[in-house]
Amino acid sequence: MMYSFMAIVGFGVFIPLLPSPWNYIAYGVIGSAFVLHLLTHLGAVTVDPADYNVRVRKDYSSPMPVFDKKKQPHVIHNQHCYLCEVDVGSKVKHCSSCNKCISDFDHHCKWLNNCVGGRNYWLFFMAVFSAVFGVLLLSVVILFFFIQHFVNPSSLRTAAAFQSVKGNGTWFAFLPLAPVQTSSTSLLVLAFITIIITLSSLLMLCHLLVFHIYLLCKGISTYEYVVKQRQSQNSRDQGGGATQSTQANPAAEQSPGPVDMPIDCDAPLSSRSSIFKYQSRGQTSSRLSGTICSEMEHFPQTADGENPPNYGSKSSAQIIPGEAPVSWGSSRVETPQVQQSSTGQHSEAEERPDVQRPLGTSIVDTTAVHQQLIH
C-alpha cells in the first residue's frame, strides 16, 4: 500500500510539475528504481528458500508433525531434520514460522511473509537497496516542489495545460494524460503528508540497509549475529551479577576469617607452667606463640624441670584466694606449694597462678607482656 501511494503521488502529481528536462530525468531514474524494487520484491517473496532435499519432496500440503523434545533434543540433530525427515546441510535451520528447513538461513522476514535464505538473499538485498534509492529521490523531488512553490511557482507551471489558466491559484494533477484541476493548498497538504511518509520510510529502510551491509562485511548472517549478541548479553549478565554480589558483601571476600595459631614449644615444659591463665580463665592469646616460646627457654628451671617466669625485678608476691602463691624475685623463684593428701599422693591446686606485674597487683596485660618479651 505504501509503495502504491508513493508511486501514484510521485509519478502522477509531483514529477510532472518539474521543469523540463528534469521531469524526464526523474521519470527515467525514479521509475527504474521503483520497477527494480517491484521485481526484486516479488522475486524474494515467490522464490522458495528451502533446502534442496525439502524442495525435492515438495510435500507442503500435508501437515508437519509436532516436534517432541522427549525423543530428540533438537529439531535438526546430526544434520538430519526430524520434522522434515530429510538430511540437510551444515548451515540449514528449521524455520518455525515457515515450518521447513531453510538453506543458508538468514532470517524470517514478516514483510515478505517468507524466509530469507541463500536462494533469495540477494533478491531481498536489492529490494531494500532499490527502495532506499527510489524513496530518497522522490523525497528530493517533493522538497523541490515545496520550496519552489513559495520561491518561484512559475518554474513549476511549464506544462501546456497551464497556458490556458489565468492566475497562480489553479493547479493540475496527473499531467499530461489526465489533468485534474486542484488548488495550491491541496498540493501543499499532500506534499507535507508525502514527505513525512517518505522520511519515515527512509529511516527504517536505511537502518535495514546499513545493517545488512555490515553483515556482508563481517561475513555472517542475521541469525549468527543474533546468536552472538545473546551469548554476549548472557555473559554480561552473569558478570554483573557476580560483581553486585561482591559489592553487597565485600567483607566475605576481604576477611580471611579466624586463624588459629597454637603455641607449640619445643622446650621441655610441663603442662602446669607453660600455660598462662587470665583471671577471667579465658584462653591464652595466640599472639604470644613464637616470642614466649623463645624467651621461656632462657628461664632457670626448678627441681621439677619447670620454667617459671622471672623478670629480674624486686621481689613481689601476691596471694590470690584459691590460687597457689607465686613469688617474683631477682635470685630465686618460689614454686607453688603442694599439699600431701591423706593417701600420700600429691595433688596440685585446682587453679593455676595468674601472671602478675613485677611491681603491682593488677593482672598483666598481654600486649605489655608481649612488648617486654620482644625487647
In a domain, 331, yes or no: yes
Of 181, 211, 235, the residue that ends a domain is: 235
> Tens digits of per-residue pLDDT, 56-112?
876 666 666 676 777 777 788 888 888 888 888 888 998 888 888 999 999 999 989
Give the confidence band of 36 by pLDDT, cuts at 50, 70, 90: very high
Query: Is the domain of 152 the same as that of 26?
Result: yes
Residue 123: per-residue pLDDT? 96
Predicted pLDDT at 283: 44
116/207 same-domain check: yes
| Domain boundary residue, one of 186, 210, 235 | 235
Question: Does residue 352 have a pLDDT over 50?
Answer: no
**Same-domain status, 228 and 288:** no
- With beta carbons less than 8 A apart as the criterion, state whether 337 and 344 touch: no
Task: Give the phi and the psi of residue 165 in degrees, each rounded to 5.
Answer: -110, 130
Q: What are phi and psi of 126, to 5 degrees?
A: -70, -30
The answer on 363 and 223 residing in a single domain is no
For residues 83 and 85, what is the distance between their CA atoms, to the nearest angstrom? 5
Q: Do 227 and 289 have their domain in common?
A: no
Indicate whether 130 belongs to any domain. yes
Does some domain include residue 194? yes
The CA distance from 43 to 298, in Å, is 102
Task: Note whether 277 and 141 are same-domain residues.
Answer: no
Q: Is the pLDDT of residue 331 over 80?
A: no
The yes-or-no verdict on residue 288 having pLDDT over 90 is no
DSSP codes joined into one string, 138-202: HHHHHHHHHHHHHH-GGGG--SGGGGG--SSSEEEESTTTS-EEEEHHHHHHHHHHHHHHHHHHH
Indicate whether 80 belongs to any domain.
Answer: no
> What's the N-to-C CA distance of the chain in angstroms?
97
The verdict on residue 207 lying in a domain is yes
The verdict on residue 26 lying in a domain is yes
Note the pLDDT of residue 277: 40
Q: Do 175 and 222 belong together in one domain? A: yes
**pTM of structure:** 0.61
Pair (14, 136) in one structural domain: yes
Residues 352, 230, single domain; the answer is no
Catalytic residue among 81, 84, 101, 109: 109
Write the pLDDT tens digit of every residue in 260-274. Answer: 444 444 444 444 333
Residue 301, domain extent? 269-336+348-375
Tell me: do 45 and 179 sit in the same domain. Answer: yes
Distances in Å between the alpha carbon of 209 and those of 125, 204, 213, 227, 269? Answer: 8, 9, 6, 20, 88
Give the Cα separation of 225 and 157 in Å (integer).
52
pLDDT, tens only, 138-170: 999 999 999 999 999 888 988 888 888 777 778
Assigned domain for 279 exists: yes
Q: How many independent structural domains does the chain possess?
A: 2
Asked whether 106 and 121 are in contact (CB, 8 A), the reply is yes
Q: What is the pLDDT of residue 205?
A: 95
Helix (H, G, I), strand (E, B) or coil at 250: helix
Asked whether residue 130 falls in the same domain as residue 42, the answer is: yes
| Residue 364 included in any domain | yes
Under a CB-based contact definition with an 8 Å cutoff, are residues 333 and 300 in contact?
yes
**What sign does the dihedral 172-173-176-177 (CA atoms) show?**
negative
Give the mean model confidence (pLDDT) for residues 13-38.
94
Question: What is the C-alpha to C-alpha distance for residues 47 and 35, in angstroms, rounded to an integer?
Answer: 18
Amino acid letter, residue 1 = M
Q: Are 231 and 273 part of one and the same domain?
A: no
| Residue at 252: amino acid letter | A
Asked whether residue 360 carries a pLDDT value surpassing 70, the answer given is no
Contact 102, 95 (CB under 8 A): yes
Indicate if the pLDDT at residue 245 is higher than 90: no
**53: which 3 cell numbers?**
532435499
Task: Determine whether 109 is an active site residue.
Answer: yes
Q: Among 54, 93, 46, 52, which residue's Cα sits nearest to residue 222?
A: 93
Q: Is the predicted pLDDT of residue 337 greater than 70, yes or no? A: no
